[in-house]
Structure 1
Amino acid sequence: MEGRVDPATLHTTVLLHEVIEWLRPKPGGRYLDGTLGMGGHSLALMERAGAGAELAGLDRDARALALAGERLAGMGDRAHLFHLPFSRFEEALDTLGWETVDGAVLDLGVSSLQLDEAERGFSFISDGPLDMRMDPECGPSAADLVNTLKHGDLARIIRAYGEDPLAGKIASAILKARDKGAITRTLQLAEIVRLAYPPKMRHTARNHPATRTFQGLRIAVNRETEELEHYLETIIGRLAPGARAAIISFHSLEDRAVKRAFLAAARGCRCPSHQLHCTCGGVPSFKVLTRKPQTPSDEEAARNPRSRSAKLRVAERLGPDGEEA
């Protein structure tokens, strides 16, 4: 790569103002950004917090981490960066000796850095190797899944993670195509999926027919569902009373998972729904601050079309007795 790349030009941070207002950064606070990306949320958090604030920033994309490091260089030793997936944030906090943090942000979207580089294999707009790994050094690629999985497993991924009702038909088309040779390119797979759609659906679809298949494969490749589930189970215990967790999701699977986790933590009681009286003794650990997800303004959506599907949910950590801090 020739010349210095400005990280701010590679990715437009989504719902930046809203995240900062909800998290209320303060001097001396400790903050966690589990999906550092180009460092947009983190930079704004640190600038708003001011003197003495510290950051633990994680990303499993090594290039994104390096670029974010350049952007946060002015923070000196107050910004601690880790090449880790966000599900392993506790390793970072333990390394720093932090028991809790004063706020946490998670932006679950794929960055423009990943989408716009054909070589990363996330997009069907330009041809590239069928990869889709956020960490190119870790785990099987999308090509590995497409060329080795059985019909049922492939259909399950496309149906469950891509939410495509034609998952079985698409899986059949993929298996038929790979009998003639390995599927290794993004445009190659996109065309297989496009032709699997009936002509009428193909011509009336709002999005490219391959959109959902690519989403499903990306989620499976990066184990995004498992990553999020583990984060939601563990983040509560590492938030200080009064600290807030802000999570931005981009598709219904993620948003439903965040909503369910926040509501369960806000309810506290784990008894079966048919039980008339609580016997578990559970107390609420979260207060949900966004009853409905916050979405980008019309102005932001016009300025950054990729933000249109973003949904922000925020919850606040309660004290050990279930009361507000």
Structure 2
Amino acid sequence: MHLPVMLREVIQQLQLEPGLVVADGTLGAGGHSREILKAIGSAGMLLAFDRDPMMISLAEKTVCGENVHIHQGSYIDIRDVLQRHTQATGRPPLVDRLLLDLGYSSDQLADRERGFSFQTEGPLDLRFSTSENVSAAHWLATANDSEIVRVLTEFGEEPFADRLGPAIGLAARRGELQTTKDLVRVVEQTVPPAILRNAEKHPATRVFQALRIQVNDELTHVSTMLNQIAPEVLAPGGIMAVITFHSLEDRLVKQAFRQKNVWQELTDKPLVPTPAEIRFNPRSRSAKLRIARRIAEN
């Protein structure tokens, strides 16, 4: 079962109150949204987004009500959704609070048919929605070696990208990369044995991260939201909270929130999970929470 990360801190930092309009850009299993609904009450409104129809089906069981509007799609669709709500309700196309939890769900990880985990065998897919883009297996089969090296370097920060890229590319072109275990096998055969024996994390961790980011275009979505969409849809004085799980995401959030003419950072440093939360939910250990207030326009 998926546990919402840093739930207490998120609810506290968003400074929720009855009647607010809140957007949860990454609904997941609905853990954050359920608590948001309690705080904003029936006078408030929740807009929730998720690209994964499986996660929406899970969340809809407990995140529901006349003031709840769930949309299958990316959080970058929020402008269009708000415009439709404005036409229907007369409300301004703005939200008072905005939350992004950029991690993927334990439920997604546990579903071997999705291919998110290198520890179980399943199709090499890695998409949040199978109706979007192409699978990781398809992308690898059509990418050239230099493209694979670039993705492993930029999105996985993989030190052995120059070795892994050509090896993965060759296996893909031969039709030998159909499952998660096929890819793990190539990684284990390519990375130096000493690294494989002594690494704190299995080398496939970075490879799977890089491919997931690539096939879902994750960093483009994050950057577009932070730099173009959030400043437009968040009401002046509104608060945005973003949970990241790796340095690439966190760097984008940090850079965006340091635009002093747009954002006022509400914490000097990112908040991190308590030791107690990490013990109870080890998946939270790499989380960072950054919060900023939208500067009122002059």
| TM-score over 0.5 for the pair | yes
Q: Which amino acid aligns with 1:305?
A: P
Q: 2:204 aligns with which of 207, 210, 217?
A: 210
Q: After superposition, where does 1:264-279 map in structure 2 within 5 Å?
A: 264=259, 266=260
Check conservation: 1:294, 1:311, Cα contact below 8 A.
Answer: yes
Alignment partner of 1:257 is 2:252: yes
Q: Which amino acid aligns with 2:166?
A: S
RMSD in angstroms over aligned alpha carbons? 1.1
SS at match of 2:57: helix
Q: Which amino acid aligns with 2:285?
A: R
Q: Which has the larger radius of gyration?
A: 1
Alignment partner of 1:295 is 2:290: no
Check conservation: 1:25, 1:46, Cα contact below 8 A.
Answer: no
SS at match of 2:258: helix
SS at match of 1:114: helix
Q: Which amino acid aligns with 1:183?
A: L
- Once the two structures are superposed, residues 181-232 of structure 1 have per-residue CA deviations (whole angstroms, 9 ceiling, x without a partner) of 3310001101111221111111111011111010000000000011001101
Q: Which amino acid aligns with 1:20?
A: I
SS at match of 1:119: coil
Check conservation: 2:143, 2:169, Cα contact below 8 A.
Answer: no
Check conservation: 1:60, 1:83, Cα contact below 8 A.
Answer: yes
How far residue 258 of structure 1 moved from its aligned partner, in angstroms, is: 0.3
RCO higher in structure (CA 8 A, sep ≥6): 2
When normalised by structure 1's length, the TM-score is 0.88
When normalised by structure 2's length, the TM-score is 0.95
Give the 3 Å change call, closer, same or farther, for CA 182–148 of structure 1 in structure 2: farther
Q: Gapped runs of 5+ residues in structure 2? A: 87-91
- Once the two structures are superposed, residues 258-314 of structure 1 have per-residue CA deviations (whole angstroms, 9 ceiling, x without a partner) of 0000002x2xxxxxxxxxxxxxxxxx2210012211110000000000000001000
Q: Gapped runs of 5+ residues in structure 1? A: 1-9, 267-283
- Once the two structures are superposed, residues 17-49 of structure 1 have per-residue CA deviations (whole angstroms, 9 ceiling, x without a partner) of 101001111111100001000111111011022
Match of 2:82 in 1: 93
How far residue 179 of structure 1 moved from its aligned partner, in angstroms, is: 4.7
Q: 1:146 aligns with which of 103, 124, 140?
A: 140
How many pairs were matched up? Answer: 292
How much identity, in percent, do the aligned residues show? 40
Match of 2:165 in 1: 171
How far residue 318 of structure 1 moved from its aligned partner, in angstroms, is: 1.8
Q: 2:58 aligns with which of 63, 67, 87?
A: 67
Q: After superposition, where does 1:106-121 map in structure 2 within 5 Å?
A: 106-121=100-115
Match of 2:183 in 1: 189
Alignment partner of 1:237 is 2:214: no
Match of 1:135 in 2: 129
